[in-house]
């Protein structure tokens, strides 16, 4: 069986998909805001799912990811976003409240029902909270890229260093890009040059976008997005606290199944 190359391309695409919905969320209001928030929660939740699937056959990945899971589970804000996705998919709308901003537009806050809002996210615009969560997910992918550089990026795999680290043959590389075995058998043609030619047929990892989002640079159409900042004493913050204190309604029940794995 030919060697199976791996890549972080698909989890990175999920990361960019979540950024897309976050950018739309910033300019939305009312029911449209709810739709974009639900889409963001779904796409961002898929980042770790797709990461595990993409790297499942990589030696040592399972042990590495177990350590990352422990870190994420200890992060109350990341656990909160996991629960929000479960609520939006299994119960109904995520609880939030909005208020108008001076100069136009709206700002929204999470309401702590049925799950309390972590201190890290209290008094913060929902868009800013989502941006912080997305940056954490990008850092997860960036750390994976550093831990498994040749498994993460086909562009790096198609080098002499990559061939030595992964243990594949030139025929494996040829077959993986749809060429017949032996296609690069040319007299006095160095292996490095053969791999360089073959690498033109594979898509390298978009590491720049991952690093950008990890640094907190969230963009729409190539331009950075600015999220509202507040002191936590705005009227909408007061409303969010008061709404969380209301008696629980039937829709506030916990999902029938557990929160699942991060």
When pLDDT is averaged across residues 163-172 and rounded to a whole number, the result is 96
* Angle of CA points 172, 176, 181, to nearest 5°: 50
Query: Are 5 and 178 within 8 A, CB to CB?
Result: no
d(CA 209, CA 186): 37
Token readout for 157 is: 């795999």
Q: Write out pLDDT tens, residues 142-160.
A: 999 999 999 999 999 999 9
Q: What is the pLDDT of residue 256?
A: 38
Q: Write out pLDDT tens, residues 128-142.
A: 999 999 999 999 999
d(CA 148, CA 5): 12
Q: What is the pLDDT of residue 260?
A: 55
> pLDDT above 90 covers what percent of the chain?
68
Nearest CA-CA partner of 7 in 153, 199, 204: 153
Q: What is the pLDDT of residue 78?
A: 97
Residue 160, SS3 per DSSP? helix
Q: Write out pLDDT tens, residues 20-53.
A: 999 999 889 889 999 999 999 999 999 999 999 9
pLDDT band at 115 (very low <50, low <70, confident <90, very high): confident
DSSP letter assigned to residue 95:
P
Q: What is the pLDDT of residue 5?
A: 96
Q: Which range, 85-89, 90-94, 187-191, 200-204, is most confident?
A: 200-204
pLDDT band at 90 (very low <50, low <70, confident <90, very high): confident
Nearest CA-CA partner of 205 in 53, 4, 11, 3: 11
Q: Which residue has the higher pLDDT, 238 or 80?
A: 80
pLDDT band at 246 (very low <50, low <70, confident <90, very high): low
- Number of C-beta neighbours around residue 229 at 10 A: 9
Q: What is the pLDDT of residue 255?
A: 40
DSSP letter assigned to residue 251:
G
Instruction: Please tell me whether the peptide bond between 153 and the residue prior to it is cis, using omega within 30 degrees of 0.
Output: no
> pLDDT above 70 covers what percent of the chain?
87
């Amino acid at each position: 069986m030919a060697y199976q190359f791996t890549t972080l391309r698909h989890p990175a695409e999920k990361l960019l998909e979540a950024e897309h919905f976050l950018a739309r969320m910033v300019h939305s209001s009312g029911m449209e805001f709810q739709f974009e928030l639900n889409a963001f929660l779904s796409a961002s939740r898929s980042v770790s799912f797709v990461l595990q699937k993409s790297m499942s056959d990589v030696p040592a990945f399972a042990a590495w990811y177990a350590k990352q899971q422990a870190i994420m589970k200890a992060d109350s804000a990341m656990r909160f976003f996991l629960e929000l996705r479960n609520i939006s998919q299994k119960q109904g709308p995520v609880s939030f409240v909005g208020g108008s901003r001076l100069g136009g537009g709206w700002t929204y806050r999470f309401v702590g029902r049925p799950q309390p809002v972590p201190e890290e996210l209290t008094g913060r615009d929902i868009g800013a909270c989502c941006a912080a969560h997305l940056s954490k997910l990008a850092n997860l992918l960036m750390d994976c890229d550093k831990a498994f550089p040749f498994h993460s990026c086909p562009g790096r795999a198609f080098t002499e260093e990559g061939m030595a680290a992964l243990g594949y043959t030139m025929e494996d590389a040829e077959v993986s890009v749809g060429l017949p075995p032996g296609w690069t058998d040319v007299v006095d043609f160095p292996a490095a040059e053969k791999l360089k030619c073959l690498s033109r047929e594979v898509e390298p990892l978009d590491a720049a976008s991952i690093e950008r989002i990890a640094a907190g640079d969230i963009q729409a159409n190539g331009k950075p997005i600015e999220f509202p900042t507040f002191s936590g004493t705005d009227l909408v913050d007061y409303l969010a606290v008061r709404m969380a204190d209301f008696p629980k309604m039937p829709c506030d029940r916990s999902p029938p199944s557990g929160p699942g794995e991060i």
